[in-house]
Amino acid sequence: MLGLMQDRALLISTIIEHAARHHGDAEVVSRTVEGPIHRYTYAEAGRRAKRVANMLGALGVGFGDRAATLAWNGYRHFELYYGISGIGAVMHTINPRLFPDQIAWIANHAEDKALFFDLTFLPLVEGIAARLPACRSFVLMTDRAHMPAASTIPGLLCYEDLLAAAAEEFAWPAFDENTASSLCYTSGTTGNPKGALYSHRSTMLHAYASALPDSLNCSARDVILPVVPMFHVNSWGLAYACPMVGAKLVLPGPHLDGRSVYELFEAERVTMSAGVPTVWQGLLAHMKQGGLRFSTLKSTVIGGSACPPAMIRTFQDEYGVKVLHAWGMTEMSPLGTVCNLKSKHLDQSAEEQFRVETTQGRAVFGVDMKIVGADGTDLPWDGKTFGDLYVRGPWVVRGYFKGEGGDPLVDGWFPTGDVATISADGYMQITDRSKDVIKSGGEWISSIDLENIAVAHPAVMQAAVIGVAHPKWDERPLLIVVRKPGAELTREELLRFFEGKIAKWWMPDDVAFVEAIPLGATGKMLKTRLREQFRDHRLPTA
Ligand code: ADP
């Protein structure tokens, strides 16, 4: 027997319609590439998204076509999210920090029919436009006054001109909720990038789940500033969750340094933010230097790579900001787990609570997870045994765009490539990415654990631990460190800091001090690069 409830498809256009209708006066504030702060409301965004829909029709972008963006977090990008997906076309956000050759490869693989880009990326697009045969329209996301006098891109279009020429009346079409809505390529540290192709249904379910109190806890009383880019897994879904709940949205544009972000936090009375640890390092350094305080910030989501416990402590103890340690990946839209205490933890000591808070947290409802051993058998949830982390759920990929890489699933589960433990209460902790794990004498050493200890040292700004070849033990840990500006620290002092905190055989064999650690396109430490750089490093014990 079937239920008797209405069969209304879960479509992304309903989010912007709802926000415009029910939160019409809630603001979207953007720091623009052109300079000034721009403000409008969800009502205005809803109207402009309809103009986008009409503009796409005029450009010949239709149902199922891919339309790409190279853009920072800003209001035009936001409207494109809704206009493009709303007509049943596919919003393809490209990470502009990739190399031009990779960008061209991705745009060609996706067969993007139109490319919308911020002024910042004009030189980049001029360099690759001739290599994008499928792309018929190049649209600069600016107004007439900021259009270049000349460009090597033939027929370069002006976004505001196109929007002005497009009608504001548009009825969002209804279609199957399983229709593709947006496309995001994994960074492809090994091999070519692969496209995760989200659907309206997966995006909507993910938005509901991520707004829940024990997820990212988003509401109409919040002012949310995603530092995480809209080209990095849809700013972790916040581009959908914020208008869904009616939160005021603050978009930081191209300026993601500590000072610019702090200024926006204060000026716009931001209550919640989200970003990778490297972004927060910059912000915290700026705060410390200037003796600054947050007047409204209550919580921040930290994920994308492990948030060092020292950073959680600084946010919570020194600034009273709750850290929501979250884990996920492009293939998971991206949310998998978020760390929040259960009521039973509230009676425990601060130390015990903190121990829980350093994990990546519990699975958000909708995500099912398990850890398995090398032979594929399930491993116990005891908080100690670690194994390969597998997931499944309605916003987890079942394959990549155009079948790239074959069938990724194992008995219906997606292998994440992460190694983790899960406690009896379901708190998951990432030990490593499987390719970063250090294999010493047949045992595994967690690079994340060692990095977390190193960054707790007051003279350490950043730390990465990689495995270096060792004649007897296969691999041994090498600690690579960036000191804080002006700080003095020797190899011996730093190694002494590890004593008593880890098993003896986990002790890094050597320390290398560097000026900077290379970061990838999503702001994570590039360990592949470090491994190349230190391939011939001779350990003192070797
Ligand atoms: P890529 O790094 O290829 O761009 P993603 O951005 O999707 O891909 O990153 C997903 C990976 O990032 C996860 O598989 C995991 O290794 C790592 N990651 C994400 N969040 C966390 C976290 N909170 N702690 C540790 N690792 C994390």
- Each residue's pLDDT tens digit, 155-165: 999 999 999 99
- What spacing in Å lies between the alpha carbon of 130 and ligand 1's midpoint? 34
Is 186 a pocket residue for ligand 1 (Cβ < 6 Å)? yes
Helix, strand, coil percentages (3-state) for the chain, rounded to 5, are: 35, 25, 40
How many CB atoms lie under 10 A from the CB of residue 312?
Answer: 21
266 burial (CB, 10 Å; 0-12 / 13-18 / 19+) is middle
Distance in Å, CA 304 to ligand 1 centroid: 4
Higher pLDDT, residue 528 or 177: 177
- pLDDT > 90 in the chain, percent: 91
Average pLDDT over residues 347-351: 96
Alpha carbon of 328 to ligand 1 centroid (Å)? 6
Beta carbon of 393 within 6 Å of any ligand 1 atom: no
Condensed to tens digits (0 to 9), the pLDDT of residues 119-176 reads: 999 999 999 999 999 999 999 999 999 999 999 999 999 999 999 999 999 999 999 9
b/e map of 361-386 (b: 16 or more CB within 10 Å)? bbbbebbebbbbeeeeeebebebeeb
pLDDT, tens digit (0-9, with 9 covering 90-100), for 68-78: 999 999 999 99
- 248 near 27, Cβ under 8 Å? yes
Number of H helices, E strands in the chain: 17, 25
**Alpha carbon of 524 to ligand 1 centroid (Å):** 9
The average pLDDT across 352-368 equals: 97
Residue 332 Cα: closest atom of ligand 1: 7
Q: What is the pLDDT of residue 309?
A: 95
Averaged pLDDT score across all residues of the chain = 96
169 is catalytic: no
> Structure pTM?
0.93
- DSSP structure class, residue 246: T
Q: Whose CA is nearest to atom 16 of ligand 1?
A: 433
Q: In the structure, what pLDDT confidence band is assigned to residue 189 with cuts at 50, 70 and 90?
A: low
What secondary structure does DSSP assign to 131-159, as a single string? G-TT--EEEESS-GGGS-S--SSTT-EEH
CA nearest 114: which of 124, 102, 125? 125
pLDDT-derived band at 434 (thresholds 50, 70, 90) equals confident
Q: Whose CA is nearest to atom 2 of ligand 1?
A: 187
The mean pLDDT value for 192-211 works out to 96
> What's residue 190's pLDDT?
58
- Reported as a pLDDT band with limits 50, 70 and 90, residue 465 is very high
H-type helices in 60-99, by residue range? 75-86
Q: What is the pLDDT of residue 534?
A: 94
3-class secondary-structure state, position 265: helix
Asked about 492 being catalytic, the answer comes back as no
**Rg of the chain (C-alpha set):** 24
Task: Please work out whether the CB of residue 360 comes within 6 Å of at least one atom of ligand 1.
Answer: yes
Question: Is residue 188 pLDDT above 80, yes or no?
Answer: no
Check 93, 179, 186, 359 and give the catalytic one: 186
Pocket test for ligand 1, best of 184, 236, 305 (most atoms within 8 A of CB): 305
435 is catalytic: no
Q: What is the pLDDT of residue 516?
A: 94
